[in-house]
């Protein structure tokens, strides 16, 4: 399968998924990175790894692509799935319609708790701690036209410990994000390859 990853920041989830594709734990290839911040860590890593970088969206400051041009660019790269990994802009309806049930996002709380456009970055973890919740953790969900509301695919509970700061909790959750996003992407990419494996198995037995 061919994957596009969208990032706005450091891109640690992007890196862990990329490593998993290189090592064959995910049967897919990241063929393009999309970012709204051309200087972010994720974009730097893509360039250093030989992954093409696309700037999106177009803003006053940046010469990004329009939604229509982004869809055609992704089609040219023959992208099957889109993985949002710390991409902070809303995904336009045009892209969602072009890739139905093919866009995933990761969010660092147990959705539907602490989701929506006001919960991003450290704000999520601060709010979790302030609420007194005993568990938090990453959610991977399909993307619809709103923030953090699409169908949930995977979650992992992570304990909130006494004396946790937002930074300490964020690091504990991020560690689990890396594993969960790799597992979810692997499952997504296996769909077809398991059929192929079955065919090969039958062929091998038939011989």
CB of 202 to ligand GRF, least distance (A): 40
Backbone angles phi, psi at 9, to 5 degrees: -135, -140
Q: HSE of 138 in the Cβ direction (CA atoms, 13 Å)?
A: 25
Q: Cα 47–28–151 angle (5° rounding)?
A: 100
Residues 5, 27, 34, 108: which binds ligand GRF (CB under 6 A)? 108
Residue 74 burial (C-beta neighbours within 10 Å; 0-12, 13-18, 19+):
buried
Closest to ligand GRF by CB, 28 or 86: 86
Q: Any idea what the Cα angle at residue 137 is, between residues 154 and 97, rounded to 5°?
A: 45
Distance CA 4, CA 75 (A): 11
Q: Which is nearer to ligand GRF, 112 or 200 (CB)?
A: 112
Quick one: which of 4, 7, 91, 96 contacts ligand GRF (CB under 6 A)?
Answer: 7
Candidates 5-13, 27-35, 128-136, 145-153; binding stretch for ligand GRF (CB under 6 A): 5-13
**15-36 residues labelled b (16+ CB within 10 A) or e (exposed):** bbbbebbeeeebbbebbbbbbb
Among 85, 111, 129, 184, binds ligand GRF (CB under 6 A): 85
Which of 151, 49, 71 has its CA nearest to residue 105? 151
| 52 forms part of the interface with ligand GRF (CB under 6 A) | no
Taking the C-alpha atoms of residue 79 and residue 194, their distance in angstroms, rounded to an integer, is 19
Q: Is 9 in the site for ligand GRF (CB under 6 A)?
A: yes
| Residue from 104, 110, 177, 188 in contact with ligand GRF (CB under 6 A) | 177
Q: Are strands 152-155 and 139-142 parallel, antiparallel or unpaired?
A: antiparallel
Residue number closest to ligand GRF, CB atom? 86
Query: In terms of CB distance, is 12 or 136 closer to ligand GRF?
Result: 12
Residue 13 touches ligand GRF, criterion: CB under 6 A: yes
Cβ closer to ligand GRF: 2 or 37? 37
Tell me how many residues contact ligand GRF (CB under 6 A). 14
Both tokens of 93, joined, read: 């309806």
Active site residues: 107
106 near ligand GRF, rule: CB under 6 A:
yes
Under the rule (CB under 6 A), what is the footprint of ligand GRF? 7, 9-14, 85-86, 106-108, 174, 177
């Amino acid at each position: 399968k061919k994957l596009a990853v969208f990032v706005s920041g450091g891109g640690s989830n992007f890196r862990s998924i990329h490593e998993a594709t290189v090592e064959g734990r995910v049967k897919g290839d990241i063929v393009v990175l999309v970012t709204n911040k051309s200087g972010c860590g994720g974009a730097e890593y893509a360039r250093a790894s030989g992954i093409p970088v696309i700037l999106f969206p177009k803003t006053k400051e940046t010469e990004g692509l329009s939604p229509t041009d982004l869809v055609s660019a992704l089609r040219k790269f023959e992208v099957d799935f889109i993985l949002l990994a710390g991409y902070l802009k809303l995904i336009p309806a045009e892209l969602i319609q072009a890739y139905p049930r093919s866009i995933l996002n990761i969010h660092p709380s147990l959705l539907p708790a602490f989701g929506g456009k006001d919960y991003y970055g450290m704000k999520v973890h601060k709010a979790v701690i302030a609420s007194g919740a005993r568990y938090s953790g990453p959610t991977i969900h399909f993307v619809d036209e709103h923030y953090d509301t699409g169908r949930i695919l995977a979650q992992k509970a992570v304990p909130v410990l006494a004396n946790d700061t937002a930074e300490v909790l964020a690091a504990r959750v991020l560690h689990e994000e890396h594993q969960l996003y790799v597992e979810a992407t692997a499952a997504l990419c296996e769909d077809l390859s398991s059929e192929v494996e079955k065919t090969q198995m039958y062929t091998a037995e038939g011989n």
